[in-house]
Chain A
Amino acid sequence: MLYSEKVMDHFRNPRNVGEIENADGVGQVGNAKCGDIMRITLKIDDGVVTDAKFATFGCGSAIATSSMATEMIKGKPVEEALELSNQAVVEALDGLPAHKLHCSVLAEEAVKAAVKDYYDKHGITYDPKLFCNMDCEGCHAHDGE
């Protein structure tokens, strides 16, 4: 099979699908042209991610990585959510095929984008180096378009 049981489970029964109304942080990354867009919305109380939801346009692994990423950051302090790496998402899913690794990068970037949005909205100062430039890494084929 192309995907692990874990990936298929998160694809078939995605956790945290939807959108949080009046979210404290919203992150949307990817490009429809490339076939992947993820939007993650966060509810943050006292610096803790109390809820996370996602909406994803993309392949099976894009949906599964979004689902897993939201599971992994729920209940965590914002600083810990920021440390979520794409490798950690891949490991939690028992691996991804090599050509699907970019989906996990997108999931990591969506979480970071949502946290950045939370910081910006709430006037919280941060080191800009914490965030990538949101230049969709999963989208090398269309760079410059």
Chain B
Amino acid sequence: MIYLDNAATTKTSPAAQQAMLDCMEQFWGNPSSLHTPGQRAAEALAKAREEVASCIGASPREIYFTSGGSEADNQAILSAALLGKRKGKTHLISTAIEHHAVLHTLARLEKEGFSVTLLPVDESGVVKVSDVAAAIREDTALVSIMFANNEIGSVQPIQEIGALCREKKIPFHTDAVQAAGHLPIDVVKQNIDMLSLSGHKFHGPRGVGLLYVRKGLPLLNLIEGGAQERSKRAGTENLPAIAGMAVALKEACDHLEENARKEIVLRDRLIEGLSKIPHSALNGDRERRLPGNVNFCFEGIEGESLLLLLDDKGIAASSGSACTSGSLDPSHVLLAIGRPHEVAHGSLRLTLSEETTREEVDQTIQAVTEVVARLRAMSPVWDELQKGVRPYVIQ
């Protein structure tokens, strides 16, 4: 199996697995307990916190472990919104291409009376800093903009947006789920007030993530209960997962440049190969993109059948087609970059890891080329495009 769906999840690394087993074997105590087994677990927890903090330029006291990226996004946004409301600030700024963990949280707040501005992105999927500046109001309580997009890999101008928010004294949150472990993150240098990440996107376990909150910035709970996580996130800590995530993040950050260099070479080879398919187009920015992300639209075909046939050829991929999203509409990200519905249905996302090989990339180029041709041969849309009855959207 050629696994090219690393943006969905990654295989847990051997070191992360070992760290998890060690926790279950040796540090199984409750970190809140005062006895020796508890205190050994507390030490392991503290070590994990130090490790993840150092990977993003934070201090350990600024890290709150959560059940994943979605919980971290929810807490950051709901907390900032409710704290803002106490000061009469009920305006929230984000973008049209955020993950649903952000978009649905904002939609919920909108129903509660908040006003939400979702900024557009350009055709390469990048938000303009000047648009953020223009959207800021007296009553803006939060700006939340993702570090890098999960579908099309476009990397946002986080440091500049952070500087702008700092100047305007507005809290700035970034969903860095796809960026963490793949792009350099320094919360201080990049002017980030809050940051979410998830363990399983860099070879750590799922069901664990974290929220970084800059020292001095208040934070409200989502989950009430015990005094874990400095009383900001109740519930006995999921130590095996936390330790696994910490080891995986450290590994990813220690090899970040080397992995990125390797992935970019293969990514560009894959982009070049797929570009040779007629009437295909790369989604997202050619340069400002995640090292492992490739996303294409192929005119005249539908994404789910593409995925099924690729799976038959031993290639695991993903699509933004409506059929694969479980809704009737195709990906909101592809629509936001201006792809019409019929083209967005024919999208393919291939996300590499540092373990992806050149042979795998070459096999994938050949397989996708064959499968697209096969589906086009039975597509009435392709037939109409070829006969000139329907104009091509992608030239």
Contact = CB atoms under 8 A, between A and B. Distances in A.
Contact of B326 (A18, A37, A99): A99
A52 B110 CA distance: 52
A117 to B, nearest CB: 15
A140 interface: yes
A72 interface: no
A34 B341 contact: yes
Contacts of B381: 32, 37, 57
A25 B302 CA distance: 26
A57 B329 contact: no
Given A32-B341, A55-B383, A141-B329, A63 B321 contact: no
A116 interface: no
Interface residues of B, number: 28
B302 A58 contact: yes
B323 A35 contact: yes
B139 interface: no
Interface in A61-110: 62-63, 99-100
Interface string A25-41: 00010001111111100
A12 B304 contact: no
Most interface-central of B308, B309, B312, B326 (chain A CB within 10 A): B308
Contacts of B326: 99
Contact of A17 (B329, B342, B378): B378
**A interface residue count range (under 10 / 10 to 19 / 20 to 34 / 35 or more):** 20 to 34
Contacts of A32: 341-342, 345, 381, 390
A118 interface: no
B352 interface: no
Interface string B303-324: 1110011001000000001110
B114 interface: no
B301 interface: yes
Contact of B301 (A34, A54, A57): A57
Contacts of B305: 11, 58-60, 62-63
Contact of A37 (B328, B330, B340, B380): B380
Nearest to A35: B345
A38 B133 CA distance: 47
Given A17-B378, A57-B381, A34 B308 contact: no
Interface in B325-353: 326, 328-330, 340-342, 345
A141 B330 CA distance: 11
Given A99-B326, A141-B329, A60 B304 contact: yes
A63 B377 CA distance: 12
Given A33-B342, A35-B321, A35-B323, A57 B328 contact: no
B234 to A, nearest CB: 36
Contact of B379 (A57, A139, A142): A57
Contacts of B382: 57
B322 A35 contact: yes
A60 B312 CA distance: 12
B292 interface: no
B304 to A, nearest CB: 4
Contact of A59 (B304, B340, B380, B390): B304
B300 interface: yes
Contacts of A8: 308
Contact of A57 (B300, B309, B340): B300
B380 A57 contact: yes
A59 B342 contact: no
A12 to B, nearest CB: 7
Given A17-B378, A55-B380, A59-B323, A34 B304 contact: no
Contact of A35 (B302, B308, B378, B390): B302
A140 B328 contact: yes
18 contacts: A8-B308, A11-B305, A12-B309, A14-B378, A17-B377, A32-B381, A35-B330, A37-B379, A55-B383, A56-B379, A57-B379, A57-B381, A59-B302, A59-B303, A60-B304, A60-B308, A141-B328, A142-B341
Closest 6 CB pairs of A and B: A141-B328, A59-B304, A32-B342, A59-B323, A35-B345, A33-B341
